[in-house]
Structure 1
Amino acid sequence: MESIKSDFGPRKVPFLILGLRTLAGLGGGIVGTAVLLVAVFLGASVLSSITSAEGAVNPLVIFVFMAVVFLSSCLSNVISTLLIGLTDRDKYKMLFSTIYQVFIVNLVTLILMAPVYIIVSGFSAEMMAYVAALQILITIVASALILEILSDAKYALLGVYSVIFGLVAASGVNFILYKMADENGTILLFAALPVIWFMLGLMNGLIGMAYRFVYDAYGVDFLSKYIKYGMDTEPSIEEEEITEKDVLSMKKDVKGSDFFAGNEPKPN
């Protein structure tokens, strides 16, 4: 399935593409949550031994926790970007490069967050959940931006706006779920991945449709990278004259060429 690309302006996003992108994001989020659920159920029998007598978290538990968070978030991000990319192969032509970059950014984020896990584990195991939430959010945002920027550099700004609107909408949905669950943070741990990717896929299509409508109505491609604003316009005549004068006034450096040619003038 391909979106319609006209000679000028952004792509037209049919309703079918909108639905497929939404389902693709939801599917990737569900896979990541499923991995997280399996890991929690498998480790339920050893939850009583998470902390030592002093209340510190066992180093082995820290490592396992980091691995589970990385595996679930990375798998969710890779599958979501893959499925969204498959909904429109004409737009997402660099899909394999995108998946590679998504994996790299997830791995780099894990490495950067590892010291934070170790530090907060000395306070309480609960704080590790907040670090995990931050890691998941960072990797999702980075993965979504990579998908959009590599797919169409001309409309990278359109991708940025779709990600922002998706995160805002997902935050609202997660807040509602949090209140409905009597402010139980556990619900967010399992709902974050599917909700965020669901809203990212939905807003990806909706923002594309809305921007195409604006383009058809006004005929101006506001978010194209070729549109210049303010001082980013063409240089003025005075600037061109100054630049040309500076270039003409520059003396040609022939000493270097004479040296390598063996014609260096000998001192008297």
Structure 2
Amino acid sequence: MSLLRVSRLDVSLGSKKVLNGIELEATSGEFIGLIGPNGAGKSTLLKSILGLVPSSGEILLDGKASGQLSAVQRARIAAYLPQDREIGWAISVERLVMLGRMPHKSAFAATDAKDALIAEEAIRRMDIEAFRNRSALELSGGEKARVLIARALAQQAPLLLADEPTAGLDPAHQIGLMQSFAGLAEDGSTVIASTHDLALAARWCTRLVLLHGGRILADGEPANVLTRENLRRVFGVEVYLETTQQGLIVQPVAMTGENNG
């Protein structure tokens, strides 16, 4: 059974149709990158899966209709990292990460040693040990991103949805995050992340979904999606492509001058 199945998904925001007839299925062990230009519908697709924007069509999470799940039931299946990295609580980084365990606890139940171990592993993965005792309100933008990603990792949901997770991170932490996501997929989780970084997507994702004009233009292995023709048509760029032992290298080198809208 698929962990996620989206069928005939349409989304309109105001008078604008943002997604049109989306068909998407994701199974355990996949690291899927959502790529496409600004306005293609990447963020809207992630929000639709979690019922955060009105939509029509069918969305199944672990075989159950997403709209019929409670917030806690949905959180046990899917963790979500939005683009917005704002933190509104004056609590320690360690405590914020521990909040990722809440969907697995009954009402008023305290966290236990197992929760602490899971949170500790998330803290280690995101390299935030050095400021674990600081207030989350004192962090830089990049530090906030890593802490919120750690909280999502601590949630240990089988499906992780991340909207531009590498934004604001330095190159080392971008690579470290993508390695972590790839590791989660290798361990059986499903990760779906939107990104504008074609190089990172090509190197780490097992599958890419290319959105253009609210529709899926291409879906498959990175080498089959990141073709020169697709990148000219969608992004209006010429690219350097090379397959190496480390994977596909993608580097935009010039604008084509074509209208990619």
Q: Same fold (TM over 0.5)?
A: no
> Please, what TM-score do these two structures have when normalized by structure 1?
0.28
Higher relative contact order (CA 8 A, sep 6+): 1
Larger radius of gyration: 1
More strand by share: 2
More helix by share: 1
